[in-house]
Chain A
């Protein structure tokens, strides 16, 4: 049989003869491969971003919200009435064996003033455990202590955005700021966390002891109450167990009878986020699948041109047959021609895909990640498309009658 290098030589010659036509035929593959790579890059970028946010949120995270999740009848939705207290938090730490750490949170927006600068930000009253629960290390200074929580000390930790806005480059640690006109001493700054899942700037925040927040800043109508409690389970395997323990403990502490609904809701945020990540992956697949339709359309274009080419070159096929070309010699020649078209298109498509992903990132701001796998996948798929759609024209060529082919004008 004809050797593969010879077959490639023959096909390149044939493709060179009709340069314009070859390029136009390749265009389908170029667009197809480019689209697949770009779409997969968009999808992968989105899932990576979600995964990043999951880890920025803190791992194995559960959130307890006041109010019922099953809002039957005239009940208000979750979070409307405060039902969680600091003592609930203390009980959780003491009783729930699957819980590693927890943090009560009482937050609100407040005006911050430093000398002649001022800034409006989210003030979070919490306990030192917050940093552990959220996997949020300090950038400088120190965290506040349990003792400072007990004594409602006026100490604060600054998020990067607040620090940047009030102090620009200067070191804020040791400085005094005023939150709602109450003076606080800054004892440390938080490391940068970036955007949250909802697109909020997580660094635009100040941490203070929860007791200080209750007494000095938000002066709640329900003393000792907090907005939410964040809980970190010991491991991802402990998440479900921790959820059950929290439910049992809080029902008991809140004196909820068998028939009553919970007055709180435990949300498994990690699970929620994993679901989001999962759906991002499904979206990636979908985008890829839609883009590969254009690869198939490109394949049909190749088949079309190959059929034309076989007809045009009937006489050439007859000549080859008369000098001894066998069925597979002819078949290989045209299949390799189709595959050359699709692979050259595919290779160019890779460049277009990389450029397209870059452009989406720089122009539209979508995070894109081009994986090696997606390149390999799109490229080999284009090769497969070439074989698949090249086969029929090649098959047709190989079955021509040599005498009729020789006579063809």
Chain B
């Protein structure tokens, strides 16, 4: 399998006034296409920071990050935006849907910026909603949807541009355990059936067990990186 993600000696230092906060202190790992990886660790260990870097929302202070054969080091703002548009789908803890905007239109959003025709936009967003099982909720606004449904809309949005990678930072953090399991089943299905690479951050071992590999962070360093014995969860 190809190396989809290759991270080498990445550090990230935030500067707050005169104080330097090292959030990532030199980590290296690779992720192949089609993997399903959980990132775990205590609060403040740098999980979100590495996710932002993987998602091309932020740049590392030192080190290199290759995504799908492209070195992101010297890319300009708009080139990073282009990578986000084509290669990455984000799912956030707080869903981050546009308020007062229908589910369909929320799912359409990434296609506004990737030059997809209106008809194609409609078709693809409807299809993405059907994948996450929300065919009948296309015209509902986020405020008319449950948390789990909102997160499904967000996942549909992450899928719609056919991005090879989905990055999910605590996607089940705001959901109860039943809904969390449903969301994780959805991720598992997407990973298995569509071969989408999924990297998610979680605090819960139960959630992490859905993935096939767990990378553990501690104070900005990787302390363990191992396969999960039994992938998925029996239904």
Contacts and interface: CB of A to CB of B under 8 A. Distances in A.
Interface of A: 1-3, 6, 10, 13, 17, 315-316, 318-329, 402-403, 406
A294 B68 CA distance: 55
29 contacts: A1-B115, A2-B113, A3-B112, A3-B115, A6-B112, A13-B100, A13-B101, A315-B96, A319-B109, A320-B109, A320-B113, A321-B81, A322-B57, A322-B90, A323-B109, A323-B157, A324-B81, A324-B84, A324-B86, A324-B110, A324-B113, A324-B114, A324-B161, A326-B77, A326-B81, A326-B82, A327-B78, A329-B112, A403-B57
Contact of B110 (A3, A323, A403): A323
A329 B157 CA distance: 18
Contact of A323 (B52, B78, B84, B101): B84
Nearest to A333: B112
A324 B56 CA distance: 10
Contact of B58 (A319, A323, A327, A403): A403
B70 interface: no
Contacts of B57: 321-322, 402-403, 406
B85 interface: yes
B145 interface: no
A325 B84 CA distance: 9
Interface in B112-148: 112-115
The 3 closest A-B pairs by CB, nearest first: A324-B85, A323-B110, A324-B113
Contacts of A320: 109, 113
A402 B81 CA distance: 10
Nearest to B100: A17
Contacts of B100: 13, 17
Interface string B147-177: 0000000000100010000000000000000
Given A323-B84, A323-B110, 4 more contacts: A315-B96, A323-B113, A325-B81, A327-B78
B113 A325 contact: yes
Interface of B: 52, 55, 57-58, 77-78, 81-82, 84-86, 90, 92, 96-98, 100-101, 109-110, 112-115, 157, 161
A13 B55 CA distance: 29
Nearest to B78: A326
A327 B58 CA distance: 15
Nearest to B85: A324
B96 A319 contact: yes
A324 B82 contact: yes
A406 B92 contact: yes
A320 B110 CA distance: 8
A327 B77 contact: yes
A39 B33 CA distance: 68
A10 B108 CA distance: 12
B197 to A, nearest CB: 18
A319 B113 CA distance: 12
A322 B54 CA distance: 12
A34 B228 CA distance: 71
A10 B112 CA distance: 10
A106 to B, nearest CB: 83
Contact of B85 (A17, A315, A323, A403): A323
Contacts of A406: 57, 92, 96
B113 A326 contact: yes
Contacts of B82: 324, 326
Contacts of A6: 112
Contacts of A3: 112, 115
Contacts of B85: 323-324
Contacts of A323: 84-85, 90, 109-110, 113, 157
Contacts of A329: 112-113
A186 B112 CA distance: 84
A324 B78 CA distance: 9
Of A2, A10, A325, A327, most B-chain CB atoms within 10 Å: A325
B48 to A, nearest CB: 9
A312 to B, nearest CB: 11
Nearest to B167: A322
